[in-house]
């Protein structure tokens, strides 16, 4: 998707640019700190997705959207939470509150991708490489770093308090995420939740018992709540 970023704050502008550049299905087309210059570009060029700061001098993000006859998909960015409700009156895809973590950014662009390509699920979209030779991956924040995780290396993910651990054969990467946020990063059909604290990669399951599965020699319990769904997914119901 071709993206334009409009923000009068240099740090915020650079952050969104960096996030776009590290996301395989996004393309940075232009950046502006002046909304009037951005208007001219948007009216002349093809733009799929607009990252738009709300609180800018002279012309706010919402005022800018009102001037467009055929606006692109819009994700509002702002430091002010009070604009959230009003932003949805402009059919915004999402509303990102600064400072914006990459995980939250990725969730928003997944929504935009699903709208633009209705047949593609939100979870599958970030894993779709533009180059077929590229391996599907995503980034998560772990400590002070953004860590790349290749989807085909994940054995399972495990909840631990407010953190999620992404476990591969080589390492364990912990990130401050909810279970839902973690599952939103995973492609549909390749992972299944089997317990309130565990999601496993289907192709990494070595053995299945009534009460647990074995993944890379680790036994992982099957929760009572998830048992029926899991066995149905595995064609064993």
Assess contact for 194 and 213: CB atoms under 8 A: yes
- Residues 151, 101 share a domain: no
Q: Are residues 178 and 143 in the same domain?
A: yes
- Same domain for 115 and 147, yes or no, is no
- Residues 113, 171, single domain; the answer is no
Running DSSP on this structure, what letter comes out for residue 130? Answer: S
Does 107 share its domain with 191? Answer: no
Tokens of 201: 């990669």
Q: How many domains does the chain have?
A: 2
Q: Is it the case that residue 92 has pLDDT exceeding 90?
A: no
Whether the pLDDT of residue 96 is over 70: the answer is yes
Let me know whether 147 and 100 are in one domain. Answer: no
Could you identify the residue written with the tokens 């048992």? 227
Note whether residue 180 is domain-resident: yes
In this structure, is residue 133 part of a structural domain? no
Give the distance, in angstroms, between the CA of residue 145 and the centroid of all CA atoms in the same chain. Answer: 17
Band of the pLDDT at 189, cuts 50, 70, 90? confident
Q: Are residues 63 and 158 in the same domain?
A: no
The DSSP symbol for 68 reads -
Task: Out of 126, 157, 190, pick the residue that ends a domain.
Answer: 126
Same domain, 47 and 119: yes
Residues 17 and 59 in one domain: yes
Does this model's pTM top 0.85? My answer is no
* 116 and 162 assigned to the same domain: no
Q: Measuring CA to CA, which residue among 186, 5, 15, 209 is closest to residue 107?
A: 186
Same-domain check for residues 121 and 207: no
Task: Indicate the burial class of 102 (C-beta count within 10 angstroms; 0-12, 13-18, 19 or more).
Answer: middle
Q: Which residue has the tokens 């334009």?
A: 4
pLDDT reported for residue 121: 35
Listed residues 76, 101, 126: the one ending a domain: 126
Could you tell me the CATH number of the domain that includes residue 206? 2.40.50.1020
Give the pLDDT score at 173.
94
Query: 176 and 74 in one domain?
Result: no
The chain-wide mean pLDDT, for the chain, equals: 84
Q: What is the DSSP letter of 40?
A: H
pLDDT grade, residue 90 (50/70/90)? low
Range of the domain at 40: 2-126
pLDDT of the residue at 61: 84
CATH number at residue 60: 3.40.50.2300
| Mean pLDDT calculated for residue range 179-184 | 88
Structure tokens at 154: 């994940």
Q: Residue 196: its pLDDT value, please?
A: 95
pLDDT at residue 203 greater than cutoff 60: yes
């Amino acid at each position: 998707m071709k993206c334009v970023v409009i923000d009068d704050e240099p740090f915020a502008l650079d952050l969104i640019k960096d996030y776009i550049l590290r996301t395989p299905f996004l393309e940075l087309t232009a950046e502006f700190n002046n909304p009037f210059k951005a208007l001219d570009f948007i009216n002349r060029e093809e733009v799929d997705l607009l990252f738009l700061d709300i609180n800018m001098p002279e012309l706010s993000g919402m005022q800018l959207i009102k001037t467009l006859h055929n606006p692109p998909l819009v994700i509002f960015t702002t430091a002010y939470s009070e604009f959230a409700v009003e932003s949805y009156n402009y059919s915004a895809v999402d509303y990102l509150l600064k400072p914006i973590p990459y995980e939250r950014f990725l969730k928003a662009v997944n929504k935009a991708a699903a709208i633009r390509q209705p047949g593609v699920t939100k979870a599958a979209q970030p894993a779709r490489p533009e180059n077929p030779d590229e391996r599907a991956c995503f980034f998560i924040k772990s400590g002070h770093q953004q860590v790349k995780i290749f989807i085909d290396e994940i054995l399972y993910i495990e909840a631990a308090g407010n953190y999620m651990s992404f476990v591969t054969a080589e390492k364990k990467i912990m990130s401050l995420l909810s279970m839902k946020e973690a599952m939103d990063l995973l492609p549909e059909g390749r992972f299944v939740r089997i317990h309130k604290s565990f999601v496993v990669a289907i192709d990494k399951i070595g053995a299945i018992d009534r009460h647990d599965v074995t993944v890379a020699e680790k036994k992982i319990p099957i929760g009572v709540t998830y048992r029926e769904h899991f066995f149905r997914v595995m064609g064993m119901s």
